[in-house]
Chain A
Amino acid sequence: MKIMDNFSKVLITTLSLSCLLLTGCKSTPDNVDEPECREANENCQEDGDDRGYDPCLVNNSLPVCKS
């Protein structure tokens, strides 16, 4: 059954290669690095409070803030 052994090897190799290629898709992780902070303990995650003037951060009773 030498011929079967050869085909088994080919089959296993093909499948392994295909699996490797398929798992390669999207294998690069999405960038989840936090932005660099000016100071070590500073929370500089973008939470909507740190860029541009926003009247809702001063008084959220404006109708435009009801969202």
Chain B
Amino acid sequence: MDAQEFKLQVAEVVGTWIAALAVVIGGIFGVFQYLEHKSAVRVDRSMAFVERYHSDGLLMQARLRVTQSMSQHVTQINAMLTDPNIAPNELATLYHSEIVKVIKRDELSGSLEQIFTFYEQIILCRELNLCDAAVGAQFFDTDGRAFLRTFYPHICHIRKQWNNPDKYQRVLSFYIKNSDAVCKY
């Protein structure tokens, strides 16, 4: 084998390796790009929920109605929650009936159901991995948890009224860990 043949063989081997490396690296890059794209689509879907949450639609009207009602009744609710004469085991029952009364008086049932349904939709979107979990958590979990803690009596009430123990189960169990126990009061 002379020097020229050796060079040609080396060139062939090195060329093959470079081609193989390029294919592998290109493949890895493609996979990264695909995952990145999927992630971006998930974020876009989540942001569509955020826009809906803050837009001037029915959902915002429902949220405003609930907020207005709460601002009218918050003093009496807080007075009840901080009343030292109420035993801790009675508190849940009293809170439950007070919230149900407020909802009935201010006709909040429709608004609440709209908001519960919205929270259920975003949770479902997260659970199916169609929406970005981090975006959903940052934008909705604080509101959602507080909202469920405040208005869970309505869920208990309609479960009883409609004879449907699974109504809003997804949203209730997502935000309240002992969700099976809260409707027993």
Contact = CB atoms under 8 A, between A and B. Distances in A.
B89 to A, nearest CB: 9
A63 B182 CA distance: 6
A16 to B, nearest CB: 11
B29 A58 contact: no
A55 B17 CA distance: 66
A66 B177 CA distance: 8
- Among B91, B138, B148, max chain A CB count under 10 A is at B91
Contacts of B21: 11, 14-15, 18
Interface string A28-64: 0000000000000000001010111111101101111
- Among B82, B138, B146, B147, max chain A CB count under 10 A is at B146
B108 interface: no
A3 B7 contact: yes
A53 B22 contact: no
Interface of B is mostly: helix
Contacts of B78: 58
Contacts of B26: 18
Nearest to B74: A53
A61 B146 CA distance: 15
Contacts of B138: 46
A6 B18 CA distance: 12
A48 to B, nearest CB: 5
B29 A18 contact: yes
B10 A3 contact: yes
Contact of A25 (B10, B32, B74, B181): B32
Interface string B137-156: 01000110111111010000
Nearest to B26: A18
B117 interface: no
B88 A51 contact: no
A27 to B, nearest CB: 11
Interface of A: 1, 3-4, 7, 10-11, 14-15, 18, 21-22, 25-26, 46, 48, 50-56, 58-59, 61-67
11 contacts: A11-B14, A18-B25, A21-B25, A22-B29, A26-B32, A48-B145, A59-B91, A61-B91, A62-B95, A64-B148, A66-B178
